Structure 1
Amino acid sequence: MNTVWQFATSPTIRFGRGCLGGLTHCLTQRQIRRPIVVSDPVVLSIPAVESVIRSLAQIVDSKQIFAGGQAEPTVATAEAAIAAAKAVDADAVIGIGGGSNIDVAKIVAVILHHGGSADNYFGFDRIPGPVAPIIAVPTTAGTGSEVSHSAVLTDQQARVKVSTLSPFLRPCLALVDPSLTDSCPPQVTAHSGIDALVHAIEALTNRSFESMETDSKAYEGSYGLTSLLAMESINLIHKFLIRAFEQGNDQRARDGMSYAALLAGMAFSNSGVGLVHALEYPIGALTHCSHGEGNGLLLPYVMEFNKPMCAGTLRSIASIFLSKPPEICSSEDAIEAVFKLQKKLGIRTRLRELGLAADQLASVAEKAIAIERLMMVTARRPTLDDLHSILQSAY
């Protein structure tokens, strides 16, 4: 039995409205002189971001801004950003945007320091040492990429999402300024918010660290600290997600969701994500749905499958949504609460609605079960037949 766990996160996290304004000072402290900014046109038009970019004029010119970020970024996107960074001899990378932009920034930081191409580092623990400094500035409340040790790209040729995982990918600084999420449209708020919920629930329900193998694992499994973070994240999401979705100018709700996403990121990047993500990776690559919506759609179906292994935990989740003691809640209550949340947020509930064809389900199952780092940590390890059943239920 494993008796040792460890916890890791970004070494410096600054949280609060207006904290982005301290970016210049943070760069000076770290003696960063030629950063490249990885972002996209929508994010760069946010007034607070525009203001900070202007304040960096002495060290950041137009050539040091890569604005080619996109939702669900491809390997080609990362390669373009890498070329831009090399052209200006960048000494650090600032990722501003959703998790997609931050993930691209992480890959750029790897190549700046170690060379090669993005595909040299796909998988777990393939980065040989520290990378160029990464500063993460999230503008959505969901992915937790600002504190995670992973980056996800889409391989368009293989039509699958590929991950790079390494302790060296955690940003050295996370600037979480909730005001940057104020302009998020309802759909982005919904998709990113339910993504945070998936992160928290998977972190909470994954296998315990005691039962995990000690060698070559990407994640620790769940333990007390990650469970505390995940439960508080779920509590905040219950309080604030619908408010932020329905009233985008509700600053307290926006602040609460940014905090919830941060806590969920700290939890899952240690205890792991699981079967929801394993299934979403091939589905997202095939349908080009947003990662958050794909995860949110799959969540209740995976909770149903995991129910025999984590009934008590699901009752605790239900108690948050129902405001009742867990002793009088059931696992089914938690699953039903997620379905109700999907409906309120306009999240699609059937895979066919994403454009996935019935004859693609078998391929999805085969690709999902091959993601060993997720199979080894998920609450209930599935067979290929189990995955077929889950996908049929969700179809």
Structure 2
Amino acid sequence: MRPDYGVTRAPARLIFGAGQRKALGRAAADLGKRVLVCTDERFAALPVMAEILADLAAHGVEAEVFDGTQAELPLAGILDCVARCTAFDPHVVVGLGGGSCMDLAKLVSLSLSHPGPLSNHYGEFKVPGPVRPVIAVPTTSGTGSEVTPVAVLADPERTMKVGISSPELIPHTAICDPELTLSCPPGLTAISGADALAHAIESFAAVPRAASPDMAMSRVFVGKNTLSDHYALASIKLLFAHLERAVAAGDDLAARSQVMLGSTYAGLAFGSGGTGAAHAIQYPVGAETHTAHGLGIGILLPYTMDFNKSAAARDYAEIARAIGAAGPGDGEAEACEAAIAAVRGLFQRIGIPSSLQDIGVREERLDALAELSMSAARLVENNPAPLDPAGVRSILSSALRGAPQPDVA
């Protein structure tokens, strides 16, 4: 049975639909008169950017654009943006782009509201109070950052990326317009979608915890719960039904819309339910190989599901039945295997590699990667099957060989 406990953390306003980017001017004007827009060089050069700036101006909003957002969000880039915009003193910060742009908006808002090293806030519940309102406008379907309490950055003093997790970082407003994803190339659509699916599956199969009145105020990730389950299962159904089409036919607005909705649902799911082993392991793998987050997640997810079978069979079986990979007459073990096979099959069809060798991981680095994975404590302890360095190494070994591992007792 699912736990009779639920937590949802979400923006004050969540607006979804084709063309809804045109609500940005009014939404920003409701919150302030000076807006900093955090985006990247590619998006800033598109005609739609001029339309967005004209909409802000028409609503009496003065806008300054920072178009220097870098992939994987290095600390230096965040500090550069803060230095450039401090004199402008924005009332509102808009994150317009992929996950890095939205995370930049969150962290710039945090820095402006609570000056000092960002390292003061690494971890959970270390943001001392409200930040300037953030409006998140995603242009990819994957991170779910538009609705989550998490921002991730690359600090050169740390071996791998670090997170700041606090409900204070949830954007005030999320505007999800699938038309903005139409120019997203197939490869990025695939790995972004894999990340979204991992958010949903890992949240749905997260550790259930005994509810206490203060858990939601002391843990960002409370584990499996009835509200995150609702969003996770809806996300999984949408992504299985539409992601392959969105990758193959990027101009299919209906498919793009359903994938974006699935990504947003996944963000709402893991914003309280949390993620697990695939995300914990990807952080050091990504740092080692300098590869995109979603790519590593897509490779690792089926192997972490294999590892988790003994602890998460019921959840995986429910997923299999929800997506039509198993019928009501199939046993739990059979349906569980069908879910894992369905994930592998979908990822293969959208072009995600099946082995860590394909992104440059070497056998002699597995022990070090396993140890580093354990430092993502909030993810490790959220995994349904207990994780230790030996268990993580077994996952890495299977993923390196490109072969499922045997059942884990």
> What TM-score do you get using the length of structure 2 for normalisation?
0.91
Q: After superposing the two structures, state which structure 1 stretch, 83-92 or 261-270, moved more.
A: 83-92
CA distance in 1: counterparts of 2:135 and 2:380, whole angstroms: 31
* Structure 1 residue runs of 4 or more that deviate by more than 3 Å after TM superposition: 2-5, 57-61, 211-216, 320-324
SS at match of 1:131: coil
TM-aligned CA deviation for residue 55 of structure 1: 2.7
CA distance in 2: counterparts of 1:289 and 1:211, whole angstroms: 38
Are 1:13 and 1:175, in contact at CA under 8 Å, matched by a contact in 2? yes
Query: Which residue number corresponds to residue 381 of structure 1?
Result: 386
TM-aligned CA deviation for residue 70 of structure 1: 2.0
Alignment root-mean-square deviation, CA: 1.8
Query: Which residue number corresponds to residue 284 of structure 2?
Result: 282
Are 1:17 and 1:177, in contact at CA under 8 Å, matched by a contact in 2? yes
SS at match of 2:317: helix
Summarize deviations over 1:286-308 as a string: whole Å, max 9, x none.
21211111111100000001100
Summarize deviations over 1:339-391 as a string: whole Å, max 9, x none.
11121111122112111232222222112112221122111121211111111
SS at match of 2:93: strand
CA distance in 2: counterparts of 1:263 and 1:19, whole angstroms: 17
Query: Which residue number corresponds to residue 27 of structure 2?
Result: 26
CA distance in 1: counterparts of 2:129 and 2:90, whole angstroms: 18
Summarize deviations over 1:100-136 as a string: whole Å, max 9, x none.
1101111101011110122221111111000011110
CA distance in 2: counterparts of 1:6 and 1:247, whole angstroms: 36
Amino acid at match of 2:22: G
Are 2:4 and 2:226, in contact at CA under 8 Å, matched by a contact in 1? no
Q: Cα–Cα, structure 1 residues 360 and 155, in superposed 2: closer, same or farther, change >3 Å?
A: farther
Amino acid at match of 1:312: R
Amino acid at match of 1:270: S
Residue 367 of structure 2 is aligned to residue 362 of structure 1: yes
Are 1:137 and 1:176, in contact at CA under 8 Å, matched by a contact in 2? yes
1:1-395 mapped onto 2 (5 Å cutoff): 5-30=6-31, 32-57=32-57, 59-61=61-63, 64-210=64-210, 214=215, 216-328=218-330, 329-395=334-400
SS at match of 1:183: coil
Amino acid at match of 2:48: A
Are 2:141 and 2:260, in contact at CA under 8 Å, matched by a contact in 1? yes
Amino acid at match of 2:307: F
CA distance in 1: counterparts of 2:365 and 2:259, whole angstroms: 35
Amino acid at match of 2:205: T
CA distance in 2: counterparts of 1:54 and 1:307, whole angstroms: 52
SS at match of 1:93: strand
Summarize deviations over 1:292-330 as a string: whole Å, max 9, x none.
111111000000011001112111222244454244242
CA distance in 2: counterparts of 1:323 and 1:353, whole angstroms: 28
Are 1:72 and 1:288, in contact at CA under 8 Å, matched by a contact in 2? no
SS at match of 2:153: strand
Summarize deviations over 1:154-192 as a string: whole Å, max 9, x none.
123433010000010000000001100011100111011
TM-aligned CA deviation for residue 211 of structure 1: 7.1
TM-aligned CA deviation for residue 60 of structure 1: 3.5
Are 2:25 and 2:61, in contact at CA under 8 Å, matched by a contact in 1? no
Summarize deviations over 1:12-44 as a string: whole Å, max 9, x none.
1011111111111112222x1111111001122
Are 2:28 and 2:61, in contact at CA under 8 Å, matched by a contact in 1? no
Amino acid at match of 1:197: L
SS at match of 2:100: helix
Are 1:3 and 1:210, in contact at CA under 8 Å, matched by a contact in 2? no
TM-aligned CA deviation for residue 85 of structure 1: 2.1
SS at match of 2:251: coil
Query: Which residue number corresponds to residue 406 of structure 2?
Result: none
SS at match of 2:86: helix
TM-aligned CA deviation for residue 258 of structure 1: 0.7
CA distance in 1: counterparts of 2:365 and 2:155, whole angstroms: 17
Amino acid at match of 2:187: Q
SS at match of 2:61: coil
CA distance in 1: counterparts of 2:336 and 2:325, whole angstroms: 15
CA distance in 2: counterparts of 1:86 and 1:326, whole angstroms: 59
CA distance in 1: counterparts of 2:192 and 2:5, whole angstroms: 33
Q: Cα–Cα, structure 1 residues 206 and 197, in superposed 2: closer, same or farther, change >3 Å?
A: same
CA distance in 2: counterparts of 1:295 and 1:191, whole angstroms: 8
SS at match of 1:155: coil
CA distance in 2: counterparts of 1:205 and 1:4, whole angstroms: 15
Are 2:222 and 2:272, in contact at CA under 8 Å, matched by a contact in 1? yes
CA distance in 1: counterparts of 2:174 and 2:250, whole angstroms: 23
Amino acid at match of 2:348: K
Are 1:316 and 1:326, in contact at CA under 8 Å, matched by a contact in 2? no
Q: Cα–Cα, structure 1 residues 47 and 385, in superposed 2: closer, same or farther, change >3 Å?
A: same
Summarize deviations over 1:244-285 as a string: whole Å, max 9, x none.
000011110000011000101000111111111110111112
CA distance in 2: counterparts of 1:359 and 1:177, whole angstroms: 44
> What TM-score do you get using the length of structure 1 for normalisation?
0.95
Is there any run of 5+ residues in structure 2 with no aligned partner, and where? 401-409
Q: Cα–Cα, structure 1 residues 393 and 324, in superposed 2: closer, same or farther, change >3 Å?
A: closer
